Each structure stands twice: as structure tokens, then as C-alpha cells.
Amino acid sequence: MDYTIKIGGEAGQGIQTVGDTLARVFSRSGYHVFTNQDYESRVRGGHNFFQIRISDGPVMAPRERVDILVAFDKESISEHKKELTEQGQIVYDSSSTGEIPHSETGIPNLLDIPFAKLAIDHGAGRIMANTVATGAILGMLKMSLDVLNDIIRDTFSKKGEDTIKENINAASAGHEFAIAHCPTCRFFPADMSQAKMLITSIEAIGFGAVASGCQFYTAYPMTPSTGIMNYLAGKEKEYGIVVEQAEDEIAAINMALGASFAGVRAMTGTAGGGFALMVEGLSLAAMTETPVVIALGQRPAPATGLPTRTEQGDLLFPIFTSHGEFPRAVFAPGTPEQAFYLTNKAFELAEKYQIQAIIIFDQYLADAEWTYEGFDLDKIAFHDYRIRGDRLNALQEYKRHAYTSTGVSPLGVPGESRHLVVTDSDEHGEEGHIIEDAETRVRMVNKRLFQKMPLIKKEMSPPFLYGDSHPEIVITGWGSTYGVMKEAVDILSKGMKIAMLHFSEICPFPEIEEFDYLSLLENARMTICIENNAGGQFAKLMRAETGYEFTAKINKYDGRPFILEGLTGEIDAHFRRL
């Protein structure tokens, strides 16, 4: 079982509501779910879609083939009818799309359901047409309404019994209509029971921050990172987190540094354009050795680019941007699960080494929903590396930037003891005051860069290998391509010895001691670096860090993610040239 439902329409028509609700119904019913979204940078109109893949086994990438196309406007049909499978169904309400004659579409399976009329007839009002549609889709799939009804009760619990009843009636009307009027609906969902969790990577980053004891988040809203601020704002009271919307990204990072200096775990988030503004603050954090975590959501650039779309175009940016030389950690999760654990690792490393840890993701990864049995909270680390109150007071003397054997100085909290905590963006001595002499300068650079760097490097995990252990073909990627590459390996391994190498811990670049991934690459006949960008940034980084050059590249830079069929086709074409 592997079905794809695509809901298309204009912004403001409720595509996301229907999509989110269906995804929740499926995950609670025990199915494996993967959803992704495609939307324009506008609040009303345009063409958007929400795609849900549902299966009895793990799914983690969008497919091209669509089984049910829910069209809220005519354009959704013209745009996506070519994606329909042979048994594929188009479902729509002709009162909003207009009549769709068979002759016009060439699609035999057209199902006209009067969503709006059914909603009105059942006393629910036109506004509940989307609930009718949700019920209808479940009817087409021959799934029961039990889980949907539970979700309706949860969602509308505050609005009262009448609203709940109307929605349940509306869902039921759509469900019955679909069952009665769709003889060509031939979908056979598997029996599943154990409810799964459904989570996006943007939520996973937010939850990861909460689980890591983050107490301060500040940002200027920017797609695709705003979801982190939304998530944390929802947790302010429960966990004691201050969320402050800054006047710009420069203020955002500086506020985070102020809070971190004062003794709390702090984070900020933005997209590439906002990160450009944060760069001077990144360098300030490095000079003052102030821990901070930054989430960087990539989107197609330069400049404003395609603001709501996806690209992996900012890999080299956070790794190399700086005035001056300093260590930093860069993580690129490929799944919500990795996003959760790597956000925790980002906080741990930032606090432990007093560095800046950056989590990069993209719009596709941010919005995509995945299902899991659960996350293991025991794997979350939390150590307080700060020296507070009495402990600081007990020290004979205290110097914020004292030389130590590791290069890591004691991180004191100001105002809680008799000792002063002093730091400066100018080069400074151990006490934190401005210096000009050459000897101190060299010792401080050595401390920040050469003493800390090897320790940070040791913390980085090697890439993840999946597939054949002695592969002829190795596909390599980083960040959001994890899911589509992994599924591609599953499909292609029937005809070739193929493996995936996925990097999620990127800077400092992982060593080969724990896992000699370079030998693996060198022993393969073909190595393809797959990136959702034009220039092949990871391939360049690999060459710069290790000297290794991939034998081939697959790059996609149309602002859209890789689709499973498209990627397997391209890999296969490379294979045939071998």
C-alpha cells in the first residue's frame, strides 16, 4: 500500500487545514505518513498544494504519482492531472471549479462532490465544506470516521458542542456521498493500529530547543524559520522561555548574546537573508566566546529569491562566513528525528566549548511531516557548563577568558557573585579588557582556534551509510535529501549495488577514524553527489576538506525538492553510462 493524495487550490481555500487533518487521521490510525507543501509567497490566490503519502511501511519522500487529486480550483486539475495513476481519482466541487467534462481532462475517474452544498444541507454552513471534503476522502479510501471525529472533538472543544456536532455531520455527509458515488474508487488501505507521532522538522527544532533547556529565543520573522518562534512562543509559560520578536536580525542575534552572557541558553533563527545580517553578531559571539545556537532556514536566493520555496544553496555560507578566524559547529539534519537530536547537540557543543552552533535546514524539510513510533528522550543531553552563584563566589580569582589546557575558560554568570565578568569585541586579555600587544593576541587566537578546534572536531559524528556495504555506486548528500536518497536506494538496490552516504554533521568536517568513508567512496565505481542547489556546494566542500572528487553530480535548483521517481531516473541514467 502506497497512496498519494494531493490537495491543490488557491491560498486561503483551506488546503493546509484539510491536509493537516488528514495527515493526523492517518498517523493516529497507525499509517506511515509523509507530507510536503508547495506554496507561493502570498496570502490569497495563486496555486498551492499539500501532498500526503500514506503507506503501511516507512515513507520519507514525495512521489510523482498521485492517487487522489483533490482540486479546490480548476488550475489544480490542469496542473496535476498528468500525475494521476491509472486508477487515480480527481475529486472536486463543480460549484467552485466549474463543470469538468471528461472530454476536457481525458481522465475517466472524475468525482464531483458538492462539498459546499452538503455542508449547507447538513446545517453546517459553507465554512465547513472543507470538513465535508476531509470526510469524502476518507470515504473514498473506505476508512472509518472514528479518528476524524476524535480530532474534530479535540479541535473544537473550546467552540462548544454545536460546532463539534456540525463538523461531525459535515464529515459524515462527505463520507457517505463518496462511498455511494464512487464505484471506481479502488483503494485498499492496510490494517494498522499503533498510533504514530507526526512531526515536521521545524517543530522538531523547536522541541529540541525546549528539551535542551533553551530559555531565550529571539528572531525577526522570515520564512522558513518562523515556525520555530511560533513553537517556542507556545511553550513560553510551560517551560519558562522568553520569546522576543526583534526589530531586525542584527538585534535578534545581539539580544541572544546578551541573554547568553547573562547566564541562560539562547537561540535565534532566520533564513539566508537574515543570516547575512547576523554575520557581524556571529563574529562578536566568537570573539566574546558567548554560546549561541542559530537556526538557518535556506530558501532559493540570491536576495529575496523564491521566498517560500526550497533550495540547499546556503551550505558554504554558515561554514565560511566571518570576519576573522574562529571555530563553529554546523549541523544539517535530514529528518525531523535528526533535527531534534542535532538541535540538542548544537546546544551541548555551544555551551561546552562556548562557540556558535548553526543548524541549517530548508523550506522542504521545515514543512514536511514525518511519522515515528516515538523519540527517545533519554538520548537528550543536558549539562550546565556555566559557573553560577556560590560556585563562582568560591573561586579565589576569576578571569572570564583565562588560559586553560583546553582553551575553554570558565563561563561565569555576572551579578551572582563578587567576581566581575568582563568581555570585549576588541581583542582582550584574560580578564576581558582591551589589549593591543602581539603576544596576548597570539595566545588568544591559539586558545579560541587551535586549542578548541580539535576538541570540537572529535565531537562530530561520521556520515550515515545505508544500503550495500561494498557498493559500486554511492550516492552522497546532506541535509534534506536524506529521505529521497534512502528510498531511491531501496528501489535501485534491486538492480545495482548501491549505498547512500548522508552527512548531517558538517563543520568541522568529520574525521575518517571512526568510519573511513573516503575508502568507501574510492572503492566505488561511481559516486554521485546529490544536491538541491546549482553549484554543488557539498562536492566542493568535500574536495576542499579531503581532496576527494565525486565522479558525478545531480543538482536540482528549480526551487522544488527532489521527487522520488525523478531522482531514481537520474541515478539510473548515470548507472547505464557505466
Work out whether 106 is an interface residue with another protein (CB under 8 A): no
Work out the number of other CB atoms within 10 angstroms of the CB of residue 441. Answer: 14
Binding-site size for another protein (CB under 8 A) equals 68
Segment interacting with another protein, rule: CB under 8 A, options 263-271, 356-364, 403-411, 477-485: 263-271
CA atoms within 13 Å, Cβ hemisphere of 353: 27
Site for another protein in 274-333 (CB under 8 A): 280-281, 284, 288
Using the contact rule CB under 8 A, the part of the chain among 48-56, 64-72, 426-434, 516-524 near another protein is 426-434
Q: Which stretch binds another protein (CB under 8 A): 47-55, 145-153, 215-223, 516-524?
A: 215-223
What lies within 8 Å, CB to CB, of 114 at 6+ separation is 93, 94, 95, 177
Among 97, 172, 260, 481, binds another protein (CB under 8 A): 260
- Helices 15-28, 146-155: inter-axial angle, 10-degree rounding: 120
Residue 375 in the binding site for another protein (CB under 8 A) = yes
258 binds another protein (CB under 8 A): yes
- Is there a contact between 275 and 294 (Cβ–Cβ < 8 Å)? yes
CA–CA separation, 83 and 172 (whole Å): 29
Binding test (CB under 8 A) with another protein, winner from 10, 67, 83, 203: 203
In the numeric block, the cell 533563527 is attached to: 269
Site string for another protein, 457-496 (x = CB under 8 A): ----------------------------------------
**In the complex, what is the shortest distance from the CB of residue 326 to another protein, in angstroms, rounded to a whole number?**
15
Query: Whole-number minimum distance, CB 441 to another protein, in Å?
Result: 17
In the complex, the smallest distance separating the C-beta of residue 329 from another protein, rounded to whole angstroms, is 21
Residue (242 or 445) nearer to another protein, CB: 242
Find all residues with CB under 8 Å of 332, minimum gap 6, and list them: 315, 359, 360, 361, 478, 479, 503, 504, 505, 506
Q: 345, 378 in Cβ contact below 8 A?
A: no
Q: Please, which residue, 251 or 359, has the CB nearer to another protein?
A: 251
Which residues, at least 6 apart from 104, have a Cβ–Cβ distance to it below 8 Å?
A: none
Q: Residue 291, class by beta-carbon neighbours within 10 Å (0-12 exposed, 13-18 middle, 19+ buried)?
A: buried
* Nearer residue to another protein within complex by CB, 179 or 279: 279
* Site track for another protein across 162-201, x = CB under 8 A: ---------------------------------xxxxx--
Q: Are 431 and 332 in contact (CB under 8 A)?
A: no
Closer to another protein by Cβ: residue 116 or 368? 368
| Cβ atoms of 365 and 391 closer than 8 Å | no
Q: In the complex with another protein, which residue's Cβ is closer, 84 or 444?
A: 444
Q: Using the minimum distance from each CB to another protein, give the nearer residue, 266 or 489.
A: 266
Of positions 142, 165, 235, 543, contacts another protein by CB under 8 A:
235
Select from 32-40, 209-217, 354-362, 482-490 the region that touches another protein (CB under 8 A): 209-217
Number of residues in the chain: 578
Q: What are phi and psi of 187, to 5 degrees?
A: -115, 135
DSSP state string for 55-101: ESS---S--S-EEEEEESSHHHHHHHGGGEEEEEEEEE-HHHH----
**Contact stretch for another protein (CB under 8 A) within 269-277, 372-380, 537-545, 566-574:** 372-380
Identify which of 134, 145, 139, 132 has the alpha carbon closest to the alpha carbon of residue 28: 145
Task: Determine, following the binding rule CB under 8 A, whether residue 383 of this chain makes contact with another protein.
Answer: no
Subset of residues 9 to 28 that bind another protein, contact rule: CB under 8 A: 27-28
| Residues near another protein (CB under 8 A) | 27-28, 195-199, 203, 207, 210-211, 213, 215-216, 218, 235-242, 244, 246-248, 250-252, 254-264, 266, 280-281, 284, 288, 374-375, 377, 380, 382, 413-426, 432-434
